Chains A and B, each alone.
Chain A
Amino acid sequence: MARAVMQPLTTAERSQRTAPDGGSMRAYASRFIKPNDRLTSLERLEIYNRQYWFRLLSSMAEDFPGLRSVLGERRFDAMCKAYLVDCPSTSYTLRNLGSKLESWLRKHPKWAGEKQTLALDIVRLEWADIEAFDGKAEPALDVEDLAGAAGENLRLKLQPYVQLLNFRYPVDDLLLAVRKEDEDTDFASNAFQEKRKRKRVQAVAKLKPATIFLVVHRVDFSVYFRRIASEEFAILTALRDGQSLGKAMEAAFTKSKVPESERPALVQQWFQNWATLGWFCKPEKKAPKKAAIA
């Protein structure tokens, strides 16, 4: 029954005529489901088949409104159906439904066509937004703690909820605009909504590439996007990957155009900002070593 429930619907949002075993769906349903005085076996199965797809597609639309506006509603729905056939949910929570979308879309470029780079960028941002929203937060290292900690060999741990991303398109602006429009159109008529959506899709199609470095983070439990310089991105990425402060600096300024004389003040300012935003975790206190038993 699960295979039949998870089988895609027709364009008319009905169960397919062909069953998962290749035979007729009508015969397939009647083998295990009883009809009643109002519904055939197939019609009863179809209730579950439709519920499955309506629930999952609505969850995808809720999680990826940016991708939806890039691809357009119809293409987005068709893409989601293909994705969910290849990558059905393997988690007890719908929160994880889109966890494989980026890698899947990378392998199936036909869905985004010429907009593939933009589509991948927006998917990465929307997934990072989900991860940042409910990711773990550890006690934060504050500015004073940071002032006391120094040295080339220092290793700093980033908060698990902090997401570092680089994009070819300014997708942060795009996603914020999509959300703003969705909020505004809650109060508008359907016809007006449709017109606005068409305009939005056209605007998206004209989005020009512009490399950006972004941190998706939280302040007071709300998710924010913060653009950072490429050098900041390099330092934070190196620290996240467990490299020492010295190595992180090296990575940041190898190809940097920032004059050497300006670097110390700039780095100090960055670290102060990051610590103020609570992006670093306090180091775990090591348990005292027990005395060896003679």
Chain B
Amino acid sequence: MAYRYHRSSPWYDADPSTRALAQGLGWFSVGLGLAELLAPRPLGRWLGLEEHAGLIRAYGARELAAGIGILTRGDPTPWLWARVAGDALDLATLATGIGDDNPQRGNVGIALAAVAGVTALDVMCAQALAVGRSEPPTPIRDYSDRRGFPRPPEAMRGAARDFAVPQDMRIPEALRPYPTA
């Protein structure tokens, strides 16, 4: 397999600031997801939505999955769009608590504003990753000639077989050599 000498994935094509934002959103998602999973009742009480504790826990699992997806996949773009969809769900759920009958509606307002802000960041980040860099991608330095040997590696294989492994670094006699295919 030969390595490309320019990066072409959305991740590598993105600006460092976009990559940092994506990572930040990933960690935020993990943190919020854990909070929702582990403490749905206190969160529900704070929002005046105690009856939705089960739903909050499910949303926590969704947040955690999105966060892990963003942090671990080579291209986090689909996971950021998944976050945007999740944000829409969050906004819709929070909107049910903004009525006059909820004594905690002030907190719901705060939560709505926060989710709206994070949604804007999610959209911005996903779009920036989709568009990529405005300038050409940075070429990757070519180290394919950096073998360190005077001849190709195959010709150098075993060139140091004259070296005697010290007694204290030998593996137990019973374990070597392996019979291999």
* A and B part of one assembly: no
Interface set of A (CB-CB < 8 Å, partner B): none
